[in-house]
Amino acid sequence: DAGVIQSPRHEVTEMGQEVTLRCKPISGHNSLFWYRQTMMRGLELLIYFNNNVPIDDSGMPEDRFSAKMPNASFSTLKIQPSEPRDSAVYFCASSLTPAGATGELFFGEGSRLTVL
Amino acid sequence: GENVEQHPSTLSVQEGDSAVIKCTYSDSASNYFPWYKQELGKGPQLIIDIRSNVGEKKDQRIAVTLNKTAKHFSLHITETQPEDSAVYFCAAHDGNEKLTFGTGTRLTIIP
């Protein structure tokens, strides 16, 4: 299996621009997660989906962030408009178990976002 | 919600020596405690996990211990090797079905 695939791996953009990060989970996994990693706050859960349905988005920082999962093999995380404080590495992860509860999370290699 | 504290933030050990990373959690309902290893430029990868019904689990050079009463758990790596150099994260899964990560420990193995 190819694992969780994220794109782009690196994104540099200017403040105010729209950013779209993409994720393809492992085939057959029921749950998908978006995490943000920064030096200051570590790994933060932004949102997770179970069977393509958003279950908990309480970690989404503000209305500038939105996530969708139109089908079982694709998800996007969008930031509009982007701000310098959004600079971070964004990880997508998938899991066989609902909410990744007590099973393994498989992470992608991340998308490093820099907002100037 | 759950709060996971992890110490130390950085750790350097001589190759062949042991390394220990400690975590505490706040929610007594937490029942699953995985450890993830993150190599440079990669996403975290599960290396070992423990559930609340056991006190210790071992997998070759890696072991994890859990003290439910004290609400702390630890990762032990014996006979460390250069490839063990990475950032290690502990995590706790609480009753609200969320996995909360610690802040990470950067482990450096000195050849």
For B80-89, what is each residue's pLDDT tens digit? 999 999 999 9
How far is the alpha carbon of B101 from chain A, nearest alpha carbon, in Å?
6
All residues of chain B having their beta carbon less than 8 Å from the beta carbon of residue A109 are: 41-43
Confidence of residue A2 (pLDDT cuts 50, 70, 90): confident
Residues 6+ apart with CB under 8 A from B28: B68, B71
- Model confidence at B46, pLDDT cuts 50, 70, 90, reads very high
Please give the pLDDT value at position B1. Answer: 77
Query: What pLDDT was estimated at residue B95?
Result: 61
Integer distance in angstroms from the first to the last C-alpha of chain A?
36
Torsion sign, CA atoms A96, A99, A102, A107: positive
> Mean pLDDT over residues B10-22, rounded?
98
pLDDT tens digits, A6-47: 999 999 999 999 999 999 999 999 899 999 999 888 899 999
Per-residue confidence at A98, pLDDT binned at 50, 70, 90?
low
From residue B102, give the alpha-carbon distance in Å to each of A37, A55, A94, B72: 12, 23, 19, 12
In chain B, the percentage of residues whose pLDDT exceeds 90 is 80
B46:A105 CB<8 A? yes
Q: Where residue B48 falls among pLDDT bands split at 50, 70, 90?
A: very high
Those residues with Cβ within 8 angstroms of residue A80's Cβ, 6 or more apart along the chain or in another chain: A18, A19, A64, A66
Measured CA to CA, the distance from residue B40 to residue B102 in angstroms comes to 18
Distance from CA of B15 to the nearest CA of A (A): 27
| pLDDT confidence band for B74 (50 / 70 / 90) | very high
Report the percent of chain A where pLDDT is more than 70. 95
- By the 10 Å C-beta count (0-12 exposed, 13-18 middle, 19+ buried), B40 is classed as exposed
Instruction: Please say whether the beta carbons of B92 and B81 come within 8 A.
Output: no
C-alpha to C-alpha distance for B55 and A97, rounded to whole angstroms? 24
Mean pLDDT of the A45-71 span = 92
Q: CB of A30 within 8 A of CB of A82?
A: no
Mean pLDDT of chain B: 93
Count how many pairs of residues, chain A against chain B, have C-beta atoms within 8 Å: 45
**Which pLDDT score is estimated for A102?**
66
Across the interface, whether the CB atoms of B43 and A93 are under 8 A apart is answered yes
Instruction: Say if residue A78 is exposed, middle or buried (CB neighbours under 10 Å; 0-12, 13-18, 19+).
Output: middle
Q: Does A91 sit within 8 Å of B43, measured CB to CB?
A: yes
The beta-carbon neighbor of B43 closest among A100, A102, A109 is A109
Average pLDDT over residues B34-52: 94
